[in-house]
Amino acid sequence: MIIRISKLVDKLSEFFAARKGLLPIVGVVLVALNLILRVLPGGWFSSTDFFLHLGIILAILGFMLAWAL
């Protein structure tokens, strides 16, 4: 089990090392999606700002990961 997790972390590290800006771009897209959903009539996603929070978390993790790699 631990060996599988280690291999997964190694593969993810190699993937994101070549694509350092991917997570921040996905985060910005999710924040923009949240803005669009706020304009449209109600719903759970727009009332809770789910994509806003998810996008900010992904963008921050992406910046931290890019800095570390």
Q: Report the domain count for the chain.
A: 1
Residue whose structure tokens are 């992904």? 58
Domain that holds residue 34: 2-68
Over the stretch 4-13, which tens digit does the pLDDT of each residue have? 988 888 888 7
Over the stretch 19-35, which tens digit does the pLDDT of each residue have? 888 889 999 999 999 99
Q: Which pTM was predicted?
A: 0.77
CB 56 within 8 A of CB 27: yes
| Cα–Cα distance, 58 to 55 (Å, whole number) | 5
Q: Which of 31, 35, 37, 24 is nearest to 53 (CA)?
A: 31
Q: Which of 14, 16, 40 is nearest to 26 (CA)?
A: 16
